[in-house]
Amino acid sequence: MSNADSISVPLLAKKENVVPISPKIAELAESRQELMNRIQTLKQDLQNWRMKMDTQVKVYRTELSELKNSLNSEVEQLRSEFQELRSTLQQQQEDVTTSLKNLGLQDVSGEAKEGTRNVGNSDDTAQDASKDDNGKETHG
C-alpha cells in the first residue's frame, strides 16, 4: 500500500463517525426558535400582568381617595354637630344660671351651704358646753 492509501483509510473512518452537521444545525435552530417563542409569550404575559396590576392599583387608589374624602366629610360634620351641641349646652347652662339668679336661688343656695356648716358647728358647741371638764354630760 502506498502512503496515500494509508492516509485515506483513517479519514474515511473519521467521516463515518461524524454526524452530518446540517441536521444538527436545523435541530438547534428549531430549539432556539421554540425558546424565543416561549420568551416572547412570557414577556407578553408579564406585560399583561403589569397592566392588570396597574389598573387594579388605580382602582384601589381611587376607592381609597373616595373613602378618605367621605370620612373627612363625616368627621367635619361630626365636629360641626359637636360644636353646635357644645354651644347649645353652654347656652342652656347660662340660661339656667340666669334663671336661678333671677329667682334668687343661687345666692340662697350658697348661703344655705354656709348656714348648714354654721348650724352644725353651733350644735357641736352646744353639746360641748353641756359636758363638764371630764367629758361627762351635765344636765342643767
Backbone angles phi, psi at 139, to 5 degrees: -100, 125
Q: What is the pTM of this model?
A: 0.44
Under a CB-based contact definition with an 8 Å cutoff, are residues 138 and 132 in contact? yes
Per-residue pLDDT of the chain (140 residues; tens, 9 = 90+): 455 555 555 555 555 666 678 888 999 999 999 999 999 999 999 999 999 999 999 999 999 999 999 999 999 999 999 999 999 999 999 999 999 888 887 555 555 555 555 545 545 544 554 555 555 555 55
| Domains of the chain by residue range | 23-118
